[in-house]
A and B are shown apart, each in its own frame.
Chain A
Amino acid sequence: DVKVTQSSRYLVKRTGEKVFLECVQDMDHENMFWYRQDPGLGLRLIYFSYDVKMKEKGDIPEGYSVSREKKERFSLILESASTNQTSMYLCASIPQDPAQAFFGQGTRLTVV
């Protein structure tokens, strides 16, 4: 079974803090993605990566950055957390083929 693991299920941070969300997959997948999920807005793509050290902006990259130094690990960074970044963050991993996305269990981040 593919396993996508996110480092925390719940996280509470203060405004202005730098926040790291880690995601690790164990199936040697090329592609990894970070989404946020909010009521009424669905899942929105923040950043994605098709290879090590490669990253591309998704639909809502503002306020975020990412790092992919190793194939299995894709990190999402909030440089200076703000209250509007309170959300559920989901990491996904997929192989080149087939196209099914495997999601991590999610990190519910609250910024106070």
Chain B
Amino acid sequence: RKEVEQDPGPFNVPEGATVAFNCTYSNSASQSFFWYRQDCRKEPKLLMSVYSSGNEDGRFTAQLNRASQYISLLIRDSKLSDSATYLCVVSRNTNAGKSTFGDGTTLTVKP
């Protein structure tokens, strides 16, 4: 079983839709959690960190459920520009570089 698992998708949604991604992790000692976005043929870039209390950044909401060992990303009012691969990242310490990346979930938002 992979340490970090994501549904690869693809998720194909119309503009304006709400879409949610889940990511499960197996190591209960994990401390830091992130969502990265990766556009086609580009490098990953941090989208948002995930805090225990949940956090929101505009149309994006991230949540952490330590008991069930999963994190989620909710995108409201999807835009065409949201089309990308979303990577879940889990770290056992505060060092995001030495982390375990999920394989990513691909989102395509259609007009």
Contact = CB atoms under 8 A, between A and B. Distances in A.
A48 B98 contact: yes
A85 interface: no
Interface stretch (B9-17, B40-48, B56-64, B69-77): B40-48
B104 A33 contact: no
Interface residues of A, number: 24
Contacts of B103: 40-42
B91 interface: yes
A101 interface: yes
Contact of B97 (A41, A42, A101, A104): A101
B21 interface: no
Interface string B17-49: 000000000000000101000000111111001
B39 to A, nearest CB: 11
Interface in A16-47: 31-33, 35, 40-45
B86 interface: no
A49 B20 CA distance: 35
B44 A99 contact: no
Contacts, number: 57
Interface string B87-104: 100010011111101111
Interface centre among B41, B43, B91, B103 (most CB of A within 10 A): B43
29 contacts: A32-B97, A35-B101, A42-B87, A42-B101, A42-B104, A43-B44, A43-B87, A43-B101, A48-B97, A48-B98, A58-B98, A90-B43, A90-B44, A92-B97, A94-B95, A94-B96, A99-B91, A99-B95, A99-B96, A99-B97, A100-B46, A100-B49, A101-B44, A101-B97, A103-B43, A104-B43, A105-B42, A105-B43, A106-B41
Interface of A: 31-33, 35, 40-45, 48, 58, 90, 92-94, 97, 99-101, 103-106
